[in-house]
Amino acid sequence: MTAPPADRLPDGFAVRLDPAVRRRDDGTALLGGSPLRLLRLAPRAAALLAGDRLEVRDATSAALAGRLLDAGLAHPDLPLGADAGDVTVVVPVRDRPAALARLLAALRADPATAGLPVVVVDDGSTTPVAAAGPGVRVVRHPVARGPAAARNAGLAVVTTGLVAFLDSDCVPGAGWLARLLPHVADPRLAAVAPRIVPLPGAARGWTSPYEDVDGALDMGPRPAPVRPLSAVSYVPSAALLARRAALGDGFDAALRVAEDVDLVWRLTEAGWRVRYEPAAEVAHEHPVRTAEWARRRAFYGTGAALLAQRHGGVVSPLVIAPETAVTWALALAGGRWGRVAAAGLLGVTAVRLARRLSPPGGRPPYVLAAGLVLHGTAASGRALARSATRHHWPLAVAAAVVSRRARTRLLAVALADGLLAWAPHRSRIGPVRHAAARRLDDLAYGAGLWAGALRARSARALLPTRPPR
């Protein structure tokens, strides 16, 4: 993996503060990002950021904009890209002739992509892909070598500065590339991914309404930097615009699953930026049959152990601070006096945080700190519940078999988790279908997670970790 250039953000590049960022101390501090952080601004930086938008005009504003991007406190605010001439589209495919034809037709129908060179990598299809039209080059693997190797084969023949990876079961939406291209103005940007949405008009199955609102490939409606242990820790390679020079040899061909997560994490470890841009949308044809859908979820779960071998604790299914873990342990298992001790520990944590947040010479913000501690504790509680119902459900079920108390709590947690997850989508899907599909999703993914750990003979993908400082 190559290192990013030292070039700063160019003049004219603009960023806008995330709507969730809170200004503190008369605008001299910003609270937000993922993970949550407090960024104190020097007087000149505070003056440059008088509003919520900052345009780069010199080295100082470039440094501030870059810091805001890296902290997740701001996102690029750029005009739509117009020139797509430096992009080659790479499409890996195996035994999907109709889907491939649909994708190529969509590329030709969009004026912005109609003239782009396309490399189709036939990864051992039973019926070899024939010539697919003008401007389309076909590279064939006689035997299937996996999606990572297929993408690498396409990358090897690309001569443009940018490469857009599109899976054959995808159909890009109008303007998708124009919304991704402006991000490339950042010289440290290695890749940017669009939002993956359901394919309109595709066949529907029992899990389709759930996939519409909780799709495994959908990273949500908010833009974000992509890095481990953050709100958007990875993006799928089903659709990805990347800088060819940043990719080096490309994907790890030894991985048949999670190769996209591995690539993103290697890029960020090398110092590159990776971003998620939901304003650009690419539709994906999701599995229709419930059994196929569940197998896909389990397959995704098997990748965690492989990632843990390469990246260690950042793949952890549970990120929790030690003091928060102790607080929940006391509250759940310590009885009356345990709950009292948990409340006391929350108070001590809030006081410590208030002192850390205190401006120089100012009064510690105890109310703010208490709110942040309660919010963080509640979020950790949801993460613990998610762990019990998804990542560690075999342990939770084993405990429920031998303990009535554990059984009652597991049922309560599963019900609460289902209702909280369904509430934001209540206008689009019923609670029973959403809860049932969510439990099936969790059972399948968790089974794959444990199967992968057993196959790798390592529990690293199952162990909790503490949040980054």
Here the CATH number for the domain that contains residue 115 is 3.90.550.10
Q: Which residues of 411-440 are buried (b: 16+ CB within 10 A; e: fewer)?
A: eebbeebbeebbeebeeebeeeebbebbbb
- pLDDT tens per residue, range 109-148: 998 898 899 999 999 999 999 867 788 999 999 999 999 9
Tell me, yes or no, whether 353 and 224 share the same domain: no
In this prediction, residue 334 carries a pLDDT of: 77
- pLDDT tens per residue, range 298-319: 999 999 999 999 999 899 999 9
Q: At 235, which helix (H) or strand (E)?
A: none
Across all residues in the chain, what is the average pLDDT? 94
- pLDDT tens per residue, range 384-442: 999 999 999 999 999 999 999 999 999 999 999 999 999 999 999 999 999 999 999 99
Comparison of pLDDT for 347 and 335, the residue scoring more: 347
What's the domain count of the chain? 3
- Answer yes or no: is pLDDT of 162 > 90: yes
Q: Is residue 304 part of a domain?
A: no
pTM of the predicted model as reported, rounded to 2 decimal places: 0.94
Comparison of pLDDT for 60 and 1, the residue scoring more: 60
Q: Which residue has the tokens 């196929």?
A: 292
Nearest to 76 by CA among 9, 21, 27, 22: 9
Tell me, yes or no, whether 54 and 93 share the same domain: no
Which residues, including other chains, have CB under 8 Å from residue 5's CB and lie 6 or more apart? 187, 188
- pLDDT tens per residue, range 256-279: 999 999 999 999 999 999 999 999
Q: Is residue 100 part of a domain?
A: yes
Give me the domain span that covers residue 400: 322-462
Tell me, yes or no, whether 156 and 60 share the same domain: no
Final residue of a structural domain among 76, 95, 115: 76
Q: Is residue 9 part of a domain?
A: no
In this prediction, residue 335 carries a pLDDT of: 84
Q: Is residue 91 part of a domain?
A: yes
Q: Is residue 400 part of a domain?
A: yes
Q: At 298, which helix (H) or strand (E)?
A: helix 290-311
In this prediction, residue 401 carries a pLDDT of: 95
Tell me, yes or no, whether 96 and 218 share the same domain: yes
Q: Is residue 315 part of a domain?
A: no
Nearest to 217 by CA among 251, 243, 194: 194
Tell me, yes or no, whether 373 and 241 share the same domain: no
In this prediction, residue 371 carries a pLDDT of: 93
Q: At 91, which helix (H) or strand (E)?
A: strand 87-93
Tell me, yes or no, whether 249 and 355 share the same domain: no
Tell me, yes or no, whether 140 and 270 share the same domain: yes
Q: Is residue 429 part of a domain?
A: yes
- Answer yes or no: is pLDDT of 82 > 70: no
Q: Is residue 436 part of a domain?
A: yes
| Cα–Cα distance, 399 to 382 (Å, whole number) | 19
Tell me, yes or no, whether 122 and 205 share the same domain: yes
- Answer yes or no: is pLDDT of 469 > 70: no
Tell me, yes or no, whether 60 and 106 share the same domain: no
One-letter amino acid at 102 equals R
Tell me, yes or no, whether 103 and 71 share the same domain: no
Tell me, yes or no, whether 277 and 253 share the same domain: yes
- pLDDT tens per residue, range 185-218: 999 999 999 999 999 999 999 999 999 999 999 9
Please report which confidence band the pLDDT of residue 45 belongs to, taking 50, 70 and 90 as the band edges.
Answer: very high
Question: What DSSP assignment string belongs to 399-468?
Answer: HHHH-HHHHHHHHHHHHHHHHHHHGGGTTTS-HHHHHHHHHHHHHHHHHHHHHHHHHHT--GGGS-BPPP
**Percent of the chain as helix, strand, coil, to the nearest 5:** 45, 15, 35
Tell me, yes or no, whether 57 and 124 share the same domain: no
In this prediction, residue 468 carries a pLDDT of: 74
